[in-house]
A and B are shown apart, each in its own frame.
Chain A
């Protein structure tokens, strides 16, 4: 059996072509736009705000200043996604008439370089349909004219996409807070939390999946770091400059408020999430009037004694351990 099978395979193979035929494509290839590079780890929120990136990790060569990818131009240039999927998944070798050798050299002269956050940004557009998954990253890469293999650049998959989304939203929030720095502190906190949570609304249907991803051990450290930076930014622009223990209690309290409101929001079905904002308002009122840290909440500028050290002093006095 194996001999005859081998013989028939041999005959089949003898008829096979030795080289590959180059077929002409039947679609117009997606254009790859020149993009600036960045490091493989994404920038912290403050770096996103500046357009100068100066650190050059080995292997990336020189990094020109980050340019905004023109999203309007991209949407006009992207061909129909179905046709693109067929074409890029088509295993036939295609010789692209647009990308001949002279245009290839012009690409290499210009800054035809990849930027990981470009893939992430395009993948966000695919999240409503595909969720926070590597599939969204693959489709986002295809939308930008890249090959789906670039999805391997993100080993944590959906977790990295959520992390990027949080980073971008946090930096947008900072812009919002900078414009409102003059206002009353506690009121600004509530507006800041509402503004930040409203950024989730386009993805609110998939947000439980994102929250679950953030709980995974691989994603939890960066998720906690993002939350910490978020509440720190909110308190800073609300006017807090404390340097004592109340720094921690304030941020911990705000993080609790933010997270509980977020959880409430994903199951809220009211119009424009009005119930969520009422929930938030109630939590802020609670923090204002009750609780150990209410004194810090009301006194935004530290300069006096916070409750922790007041309590400690009182206890020491009661024990007679403090000096006269």
Chain B
């Protein structure tokens, strides 16, 4: 039924969950969303309880990506869909030097100027570089028990969307 779905939002940090909740209420949405504080590598949800599981720009922050994939598989019902949006670890073809210069020089400075936390943005850039390339993540998803894994580059290769069905 359109508009009748339920969403469970889970984050490891309570401040993030609070911030998300406030933004949602300010946008006028009060119902239909449940908020959890939990670890993606050990989700506080029962097995086979959700129809779809998504993670956006979060999976690269995890220490053990295989655990997160296994947890996603555990909580998904058979046939459920897992979607992962993440930055590509490799820069888009052709603009590698510009991309690297921008990432390592400009982004931390911008972060320092706007939020005052230069290290966080240096970490951001480094964590993107350390993340497995798209093909490796796709094969990790296959090993974790997802079938029909599809990889879709977005924004000229800056981000990648992986999707698979829980089999």
Q: Identify the A interface with B (CB < 8 A).
A: 6, 9-10, 12-13, 18-20, 22, 32, 37, 40, 58-61, 89, 91-96, 99-101, 104, 108, 112-114, 116, 119, 141, 145-150, 152-153
If over half of A's interface residues share one DSSP class (helix, strand or loop), that class is named, otherwise mixed; here it is loop
List residues of B (66-86) whose CB comes within 8 Å of A's CBs: 74, 76-81
The smallest C-beta distance from B142 to any residue of chain A, in angstroms, reads 3
Residues of B within 8 A of A59 (CB): 138-139, 141-142, 146-149, 164
Chain B interface, number of residues (Cβ within 8 angstroms): 43
Chain A contacts of B102 at CB under 8 A?
Answer: none
B30 touches A9 (CB 8 A): yes
A20-B8, A108-B145 are known; give 20 further A-B pairs, CB within 8 A.
A12-B30, A13-B30, A59-B142, A60-B167, A61-B142, A61-B143, A61-B145, A89-B1, A93-B34, A93-B46, A94-B46, A99-B47, A113-B147, A119-B79, A146-B78, A148-B51, A148-B79, A149-B51, A150-B78, A152-B165
Closest Cβ neighbor of A40 among chain B residues: B148
Given the complex of chains A and B, what is the CA–CA distance between A15 and B81 in angstroms? Answer: 33
Q: Could you write out 21 A-B pairs with CB less than 8 Å apart?
A: A6-B26, A13-B21, A13-B25, A32-B78, A37-B147, A59-B138, A59-B139, A89-B1, A91-B5, A92-B6, A95-B49, A101-B47, A104-B74, A119-B79, A147-B80, A148-B79, A149-B52, A149-B79, A150-B78, A150-B81, A153-B165
Give the A-B contact count at a CB cut-off of 8 A: 115
B57 contacts chain A at the CB level, 8 A cutoff: no
The answer on a CB contact under 8 Å between A93 and B45 is yes
Take A12-B30, A18-B35 as given contacts and tell me if A150 and B46 are in contact as well, using a CB distance cutoff of 8 Å. no
Give the residue of B4, B44, B165 whose beta carbon is less than 8 angstroms from that of A91: B4
Q: Are B74 and A114 in contact (CB under 8 A)?
A: no
Which chain A positions have C-beta within 8 A of B77? Answer: 146-147, 149
